[in-house]
Amino acid sequence: MLRPSVRPRRAPRSIYTGEALVVGEFLSVCVAIWRGEVSRAPFERQRAGLAEVVERHPRGAGFLCVIEPTAMPPSDELRRASIDMVASHGERLKCVACTIEGAGFKAAVARSVLSGMALLFANRKTPVSFFANVSEAVVWMSDRLPLEPLADAMVSIGELRALLAPFRKPP
């Protein structure tokens, strides 16, 4: 009797962990999870992490940005830098999924603002979409990148999220 082969799940790779951000990689996806203040220094870590993942996967990589409810909005300068960061990878970046977690008006407005920002992307060949939760984002990304099985992707994202310290409000 033939048995299906079961390959072990590959653990995600941590690229950077700080107080407000964790950047990691699973399969060909760069994951950035924001908690707390979105400022220049962690943003540069995110930029470097994405560049590293895209370089490691020349046939195509993805970017998943998760914004937790405790994340503070970035400045206009960092919003523009985000657009440039994504556009700089051209067709090597196969998709960008941004999850704005949280319920209610604030999260809905954030998703709306970011969706408007997506119209400014110079690289129209990279699909960009916005989601209310990570599982929807992963399903959408799986149509553009090999992320099977999806449960493994969710476990990997959870492991990366666990690297972040609990959120503390600034004094």
**Rounded alpha-carbon distances, angstroms, from residue 120 to 36, 79, 114, 124:** 26, 11, 10, 9
Which numeric CATH code is attached to 13-161? Answer: 3.30.750.24
Strands 21-26, 13-17: parallel, antiparallel or unpaired by DSSP?
antiparallel
User: What are the extents of the domains in the chain?
Assistant: 13-161
The amino acid present at 71, given as its one-letter code, is A
The pLDDT value given to residue 122 = 45
Q: What is the pLDDT of residues 131-147, one digit of tens each?
A: 989 999 999 999 999 88
pTM for this one? 0.86
User: Poorest-confidence range of 41-45, 80-84, 96-100?
Assistant: 80-84
